[in-house]
Structure 1
């Protein structure tokens, strides 16, 4: 490998320190003369004396005030006699280093492409239509977030195993900082929904590979940043987006004597382990609200617009069929619980819900049947009459409940099983006798005409069925204020065998919290 002349910008890299990529790029123009490359330390490994560095390299000038630049993430020994080893490199681009915004914007575009190329469905022939994102002082944090995200994936796939754990620990400590979560929200909104999905699937495939490597090596630790959510508050609309790889969701405990045996069985069944863990939960929660001014108070009514949950596999169909049991063996949503609370409560007078508890319908009918029989002797007729009652009970697989605790509104959806008395699925195991019955509702659950899910295995709760409102009544003094609401959510996903013959069942859970804003105005 050719020797590189690299000037290193040394900074103290505490565990939570986020490198300031924007100011580093702004400082580059004065260093370009006489130096081929500049580097910035991303993280270090104290035990191996190595570091992960961000490097900008240039070729000789092709025209006045113009340079050919490329960006790299390199494994660098702090022994200066060793050249850095590029783990990821961008293409070369002609840029004017004096224009900081152009360099930063081109760099961000290359980083986004780098992250997407690690995605589960990326094709080298795919054309990535990147958004026109211009980096400025106000949006500079997204540069640091993007570099850390790409560095995380580079560590998963490219870094030597001896360095991976220390590097990953440092990078994840930085990604969990609030400033990076805020920058992630800003970047997601700039990317748009399609690229956002690709970005999150790429990141969480890397997280899953990392978690599975830790599981196999016996160093099981759930990634601390694995649940990613962000909120959007617009006029009359609230939206929360949630992503989490299944492998990082908390495992619920079963009240089962077979629990230990089941997990031993799962550990031996590598294909089932692959099927269940290489999945990601994606959820969208949307509310619409309206503000109505009355004579002596103000009503703020919030309605469900759309609640959507999907479990999406993180690998191709071909790989899932080869290493797992295909796309049919996976978790399904089994419970959703949301809590809405106004954080400023001095103006709240009262609150109410507009949907009562939903009891199952029950119909009772009496049918009379007449049986006519002929007696033994000619001309004798025996007539007997019998009456019987037919009682029909209908229960939807999903039960919805409203409840109120102080000024907090709780909305919950519970999935009930078809057998065993219709018990709640998230907190129970299927009866063992039903596990192998082909007509049980949880077998062939994605193709059955009576399935409680969409064809792809998700659920959608729309406002036409769950549109009843929760209403907070406020004093007139609230007029003109912008108030914060807190939304807390928990989502459970459950695995019961679909087509495979197994006794293994499990339920996992994630939790999130976001803040929403609402203006009390006409």
Structure 2
């Protein structure tokens, strides 16, 4: 599959098209069956004859005809570039249409052909080949998962490992593509990709043997960053099974990692994906003649664990439906966040960051009320006053504790999920490490007014919760230049039983590092004061 892009480019012109057999390319094979990618041309008097591509299932030494699994729309054979763009556009359109976990807010998404053509023109040949292979592989996966016969799916999954390893070697191209098509198409494309990669990781874990830790898959955890409209944006997508298993990583050896005893629960937890968006607002101020000031504060942070899959259409009993609903509600949840921003390591043009938040001590609010009741009385020793005093105190705890710190030239924002009763950190908890088990307080965690997550189980943090920013000072000699800044983070998700009865627990994490470009030019006539209590 790695040469399919060049194969399409090398198709003959209409005048030289072979009349005996259509050109074809082998995609997957076994001793009995094979899948091919074929080009069919309708030759006629016109030099602009249309060509269609198809995917077919064949059987060796069988008189039965081949079975066509998929057919593309016709495109002009005389224009290789148009041929590529039209085919790529159709593949992506079908991928986002068949994407799992489609939101009801964007049920119909329109994908412009101009967006595909514009971004495809920037591809180098090897990048275009990898991206096209990944897109075709993804479409073939959805075909085998939804419509194709079982034998086609078996062939596909048998050849999956080698093809995926090659196709994932195009992170730069995927970044450019996602920036060109917008967030709605991006979400659907990456959820389809995450669904395929989750199946791949599950198959890989099964092949390594029962309960063996096959290790993380960094190539399956994709991220990119961009600087746009005054924001540094970091986005990341990670199938849960591709993330680092924290317990196995701590032992620094191949460990027999435990798995859920319930097969349905194991299957549900395997088909989940972490989706991350970090947006940092950046402002460059040049009011002071001595230095340039760079202010950054958190615009928003979003972490969601999405269930990947399709709803079952067959009739089931009410008990089965209820069990399925409970299993589907079981998902990992964010338990720790640590992200950083600053000049690239080794930079000397900027000072270390000035922080805007002190250590995240628990917030405690004390309210004292004194009430005096009494009256005059007459006793044996004379008259007096009898009084009664009452006082009360109130403590307010937050599930998430946020802190700032500096690491070299970078500023670090860190949030930790804690059990509000014992202040046990969820991401670092192990059985026996704390007297109180936080799993008890985190059952049915998506309900109630005091929950630490949104209704859908995600973490959403806006600037009103993290209003304190950080500041760097840069010498005036850097004015007008463009410099590289780093943005990245390490993100943890954990699982404790929510609605079902299970003693299984785990914590996984993923780390991403990207670079963005910062122009040291004035951002405007006015300056937003981002740091509380710090004036220029």
Give the shorter-chain TM-score range.
0.7 to 0.9
Contact 2:14 2:43 in 1 (8 A): no
- Superposition deviation, residue 146 in structure 1: 3.3
Is residue 115–residue 203 contact of structure 1 (8 Å, CA) maintained in 2?
no
CA distance in 2, matches of 1:424, 1:477: 45
Match of 2:111 among 93, 118, 130: 130
Task: Identify the residue that residue 377 of structure 1 maps to in structure 2.
Answer: none
2: distance between equivalents of 1:255 and 1:204? 23
Q: CA deviation at 1:401?
A: 0.8
1:135-167 deviation per Cα after TM superposition (whole angstroms, max 9, x unaligned): 654236446413323325635746757755662
In structure 1, what is the Cα distance between the partners aligned to 2:236 and 2:260?
Answer: 29
Instruction: Structure 1: give runs of 5+ residues left out of the alignment.
Output: 1-12, 257-261, 375-380
Separation of aligned partners in 2, 1:345 and 1:337 = 22
Residue 197 of structure 2 is aligned with which of 189, 197, 207? 207
User: Is the 2:300–2:461 Cα contact (8 Å) retained in structure 1?
Assistant: yes
Q: Which residue of 2 aligns with 1:336?
A: 337
What are the within-5 Å matches in structure 2 for residues 88-487 of structure 1? 88-93=69-74, 95-116=75-96, 118-120=98-100, 129-132=110-113, 133-134=116-117, 137-139=121-123, 141-142=127-128, 144-152=130-138, 154=140, 157=145, 163-164=155-156, 167-177=159-169, 180-219=170-209, 221=214, 222-253=216-247, 266-293=259-286, 294-316=288-310, 323=324, 325-343=326-344, 345-359=347-361, 360-363=363-366, 365=368, 367=370, 390-419=392-421, 421-429=422-430, 440=441, 442-487=442-487
Distance verdict in 2 for CA 1:87–1:310, change over 3 Å: farther
Q: CA deviation at 1:462?
A: 1.0
Asked if the contact 1:116/1:199 (under 8 Å) is kept, the reply is: yes
- Match status 1:25 vs 2:9: yes
Distance, in Å, in 1 between the alignment partners of 2:439 and 2:481 is 58
Q: CA 1:20–1:327 in 2, change beyond 3 Å: closer, same or farther?
A: closer
Which is richer in strand? Answer: 1
Aligned-residue offset at 1:308: 0.6
- Asked if structure 2 preserves the Cα contact closer than 8 Å seen for 1:240 and 1:285, the reply is yes
Partner of 1:517 in structure 2? 517
**3-state SS of paired residue (1:477):** helix
Any conservation in 1 of the 2:217–2:243 contact (CA below 8 Å)? no
Contact 2:6–2:129 under 8 Å retained in 1: yes
Q: Is the 8 A contact 1:309 1:459 kept in 2?
A: yes
Is 308-317 or 507-516 further displaced after alignment?
308-317
Once the two structures are overlaid, the 10-residue window that deviates more, 421-430 or 146-155, is 146-155
Q: CA deviation at 1:106?
A: 1.2
Distance 1:80 1:476 in 2: 77
Measured on the aligned residues, the alpha-carbon RMSD in Å equals 4.0
In structure 2, the CA distance between the partners of 1:387 and 1:243, relative to structure 1 (3 Å rule), is same
Normalised by the length of structure 2, the TM-score is 0.77
- Residues 334 and 494 of structure 2 are in contact (CA less than 8 Å); yes or no, is this contact kept in structure 1? yes
**Displacement, 1:27?**
5.1
Question: What do residues 412-449 of structure 1 show as CA deviations (whole Å, max 9, x unaligned)?
Answer: 11111123x11111111587976786xx3x22221211
User: Secondary structure of 1:352's partner?
Assistant: coil
Q: List alignment gaps of at least 5 residues for structure 2.
A: 251-255, 314-320, 378-382, 523-536
Question: CA offsets, 1:102-147, max 9 Å, x none?
Answer: 2112111222134335532579xx8652222226542364464133
Q: Cα distance, 1:353 vs. partner? A: 1.4
Separation of aligned partners in 2, 1:517 and 1:102? 33
How far did residue 169 of structure 1 move? Answer: 2.5
- Residue-pair matches, total: 485
Paired residue for 1:71? Answer: 53
**Partner residue, 1:5:** none
Q: 2:39 aligns with which of 44, 53, 56?
A: 56
Change beyond 3 A, Cα 1:225–1:31 = farther
1:37–1:55 contact (8 Å) kept in structure 2: yes
Q: CA separation in 1, counterparts of 2:438 and 2:38?
A: 56
Change (3 A) 1:112 1:366: closer
Match of 1:37?
22
Distance in 2, matches of 1:268 and 1:235, equals: 49
SS in 2 for 1:183: helix
Whether the 8 Å CA contact 1:317–1:327 is kept in 2: the answer is no
Distance 2:416 2:155 in 1: 44
- Provide the rounded CA distance (Å) in 2 between the counterparts of 1:254 and 1:34: 57
The answer on whether the counterparts of 1:272 and 1:325 sit within 8 Å (CA) in structure 2 is no
Kept in 2, the 8 Å contact 1:335–1:426? The answer is yes
